[in-house]
């Protein structure tokens, strides 16, 4: 069976706490969803705010190839003719072929929220759909709070669907708006609805019981062919159904068609893109698309996946654009080190003594508070240092950091540093917004004349963790730093009772790793020239 997917990230997803998409964000996400092959993109509610109305004007300029843009709206107000309803008028200003209309299907909402008679609500739904159909629109009807309404007043909830169908709705979407339904309830109710309403059915679920994905899958199993959700499950309260889990489950696990597998490989890319537009840190533990989805830490696990990845991976990661990762920690075994060494193009497969020595060092350092899961730059350097393969790019002669604070003034930080590169000594100083920033600036300034390529490297993240609070300000501190040169990101780590020393360790590893990258590039270039 071929399914159709409907994305409401730009409306329902934007209702998530901490998310506020700009007009440009919405347009860029639209292009990305279209590129992925999303069937429908709900652009917003043109009658609710100027930004959404502006979106529908601007989206016409995009050269969309796969997606249909949908305008969202409510039914007409009670006792108002459709042609006089301002909200409905805005839908026509959006000039979309597809319109989604939401209407109440739970009698509680009709009485307590709308404060109208049950019969009046039926007329509001009927007249809205008839008017839109009369003017050539394709109408999707969202039966809001349907599952709650069905469980509390089945005859009225079913009457809502019949009225919508008879009025000409092209699709009826059953909504679990409060997110409180169980998967077995959704399956049974959808099955029953399908036997009574001869309409194309869709599903729209929320995640308040952590069942939004399961409820969507069960609805499809029961007969729904249209699935609504958001990228990364963003949405009000606990979120909407997560299309980044629903789509691969339906395509890869349940055998349905809808999104081609050559587009499915861009799923992780889409997930990260929306995170970026939302200005949110990606959740590494997301199924399918998260960094940890195919990450292995335990030595037994790593040993098994080196023989056959299927032992601990439910699909091949590349099918959704992800990759297999092995994490190094005090739980690691020889297989983990061999895996990482291979990843770093270091051949120690037959050198059991070397691999055991590296494992020993890793476990000793982790006992002291080091963590290499987010610091693979430091890990590669550690392996190469242990094997005697690391080139020393500079030596520290000494540094000094001063923080001066005067009354009513902001603190001023200054770092003075002396380094030796070959037989030359460089002595310089720099200021910064804090002591670590000053030290970073001074170190780079000292090395730029020897290694100008460092100007292409930026520090993009700096994390500090106090490892033992009982020692107060004397506690051991772990610093994780992430650097980027625009092509590659790498993490490094430092640990010390002195936060400046811990930061120094991570800063030096970061610079060492960048210089290692450049050295490897140069080696590959020379090898290529020799081959020609």
Q: Quick: pLDDT tens for 360-371.
A: 887 788 778 887
The model's confidence at residue 517, banded by pLDDT at 50, 70 and 90, is: confident
Give tens-digit pLDDT for 419-451.
999 999 999 999 999 999 999 999 999 999 999
Task: Give pLDDT, residue 531.
Answer: 65
Task: Give pLDDT, residue 407.
Answer: 78
| Residue 190: pLDDT over 90 | yes
Task: Give pLDDT, residue 334.
Answer: 63
Give tens-digit pLDDT for 114-143.
999 999 999 999 999 999 999 999 999 999
Is residue 166 within 8 Å of residue 174, measured between CB atoms?
A: no
Q: Which of 441, 453, 462 is nearest to 515 (CA)?
A: 453
| Average pLDDT score, the chain | 90
Task: Give pLDDT, residue 331.
Answer: 53
**Weakest-pLDDT range from 52-66, 404-418, 511-525:** 511-525
Answer yes or no: pTM beyond 0.75: no
Over residues 220-245, mean pLDDT = 97
The model's confidence at residue 530, banded by pLDDT at 50, 70 and 90, is: low
Question: In angstroms, what is the C-alpha Rg of the chain?
Answer: 29
Over residues 515-520, mean pLDDT = 87
Task: Compute the half-sphere exposure of residue 172: CA atoms within 13 Å on the CB side of its CA.
Answer: 30
Q: Which of 422, 391, 419, 423 is nearest to 519 (CA)?
A: 391
- In CATH, the number for domain 395-531 is 3.30.160.270
Q: Where are the beta strands (DSSP E) in 217-320?
A: 226-229, 295-296
Task: Give pLDDT, residue 23.
Answer: 92
Query: Rounded distance, CA 134 to CA 69, Å?
Result: 20
Options 3.40.47.10, 3.30.450.20, 3.40.50.2300, 3.20.20.70; CATH of 4-259: 3.20.20.70
Query: Rounded distance, CA 355 to CA 155, Å?
Result: 70
The model's confidence at residue 82, banded by pLDDT at 50, 70 and 90, is: very high
Over residues 214-235, mean pLDDT = 98
Over residues 499-514, mean pLDDT = 94
Task: Give pLDDT, residue 329.
Answer: 56
Give tens-digit pLDDT for 325-384.
776 655 555 666 777 777 777 777 677 787 778 878 877 887 788 877 667 888 888 888
Over residues 142-170, mean pLDDT = 98
What DSSP assignment string belongs to 362-418? HHHHHHHT---TT-HHHHHHHHHHHTT-PPP--EEEEEEEEEE--TTS--EEEEEEE
Task: Give pLDDT, residue 327.
Answer: 67
Task: Give pLDDT, residue 297.
Answer: 75
Task: Give pLDDT, residue 194.
Answer: 97
Give residue limits of the domains in the chain: 4-259, 295-386, 395-531
Query: Rounded distance, CA 23 to CA 400, Å?
Result: 48
Over residues 58-80, mean pLDDT = 95
The model's confidence at residue 527, banded by pLDDT at 50, 70 and 90, is: low
Task: Give pLDDT, residue 367.
Answer: 78
Is residue 142 within 8 Å of residue 98, measured between CB atoms?
A: no
What DSSP assignment string belongs to 308-369? -GGGT-SS-GGGGT---EE--STT--HHHHHHHHHHTT---TT-HHHHHHHHHHHHHHHHHT
The model's confidence at residue 469, banded by pLDDT at 50, 70 and 90, is: low
Task: Give pLDDT, residue 333.
Answer: 58
Percent of the chain scored above 70 by pLDDT? Answer: 95
| Residue 528: pLDDT over 70 | no
What DSSP assignment string belongs to 465-484? EES-GGGGGGS-EEEEEEEE
Which residue did the predictor score with more confidence, 474 or 34? 34
Task: Give pLDDT, residue 64.
Answer: 95
């Amino acid at each position: 069976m071929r399914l159709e997917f409907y994305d409401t990230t730009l409306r329902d997803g934007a209702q998530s706490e901490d998310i506020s998409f700009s007009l440009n964000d919405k347009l860029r996400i639209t292009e990305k969803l279209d590129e992925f092959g999303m069937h429908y993109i709900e652009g917003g509610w043109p009658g609710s705010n100027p930004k959404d109305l502006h979106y529908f004007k601007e989206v016409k300029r995009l050269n969309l190839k796969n997606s249909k843009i949908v305008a969202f709206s409510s039914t007409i107000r009670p006792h108002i003719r459709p042609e006089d309803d301002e909200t409905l008028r805005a839908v026509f200003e959006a000039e979309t072929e597809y319109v989604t209309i939401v209407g109440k299907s739970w009698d509680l909402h009709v009485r307590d929220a709308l404060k109208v008679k049950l019969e009046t609500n039926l007329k509001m739904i009927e007249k809205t759909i008839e008017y839109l159909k009369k003017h050539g629109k394709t109408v999707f009807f969202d039966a809001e709070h349907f599952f709650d309404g069905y469980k509390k007043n089945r005859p009225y909830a079913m009457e809502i669907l019949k009225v919508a169908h008879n009025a000409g709705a092209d699709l009826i979407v059953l909504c679990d708006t409060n997110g409180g339904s169980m998967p077995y309830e959704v399956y049974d109710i959808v099955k029953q609805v399908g036997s009574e309403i001869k309409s194309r059915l869709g599903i729209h679920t929320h995640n308040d019981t952590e069942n939004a994905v399961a409820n969507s899958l069960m609805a499809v199993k029961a007969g729904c062919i249209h699935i609504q959700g958001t990228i990364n499950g963003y949405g009000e309260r606990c979120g909407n159904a997560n299309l980044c889990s629903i789509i691969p489950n339906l395509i890869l696990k349940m055998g349905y068609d809808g999104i081609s597998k050559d587009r499915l490989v861009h799923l992780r890319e889409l997930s990260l893109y929306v995170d970026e537009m939302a200005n949110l840190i990606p959740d590494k533990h997301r199924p399918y698309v998260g960094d940890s989805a195919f990450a292995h830490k335990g030595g037994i696990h790593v040993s098994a996946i080196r023989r056959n990845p299927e032992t601990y991976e439910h699909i091949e990661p590349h099918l959704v654009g992800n990759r297999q990762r092995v994490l190094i920690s005090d739980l690691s075994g020889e297989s983990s080190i061999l895996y990482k060494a291979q990843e770093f193009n270091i051949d120690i497969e037959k050198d059991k003594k070397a691999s055991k020595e590296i494992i020993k060092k890793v476990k000793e350092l982790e006992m002291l508070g080091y963590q290499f899961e987010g610091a693979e730059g430091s890990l590669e350097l550690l392996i190469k240092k242990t094997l005697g393969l690391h080139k020393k790019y500079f030596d520290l002669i000494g540094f000094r950091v001063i923080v001066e604070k005067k009354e009513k003034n902001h603190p001023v930080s200054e770092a003075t540093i002396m380094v030796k590169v070959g037989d030359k000594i460089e002595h310089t100083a720099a200021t910064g917004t804090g002591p670590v920033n000053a030290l970073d600036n001074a170190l780079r300034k000292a090395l730029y004349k020897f290694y100008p390529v460092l100007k292409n490297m930026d520090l993009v993240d700096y994390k500090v963790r106090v490892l033992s609070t009982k020692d107060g300000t004397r506690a051991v501190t772990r610093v994780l730093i992430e650097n980027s040169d625009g092509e590659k990101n790498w993490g490094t780590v430092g640990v010390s009772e002195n936060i400046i020393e811990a930061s120094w360790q991570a800063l030096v590893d970061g610079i060492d790793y960048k210089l290692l990258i450049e050295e490897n590039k140069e080696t590959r270039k020379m090898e290529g020239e020799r081959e020609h």
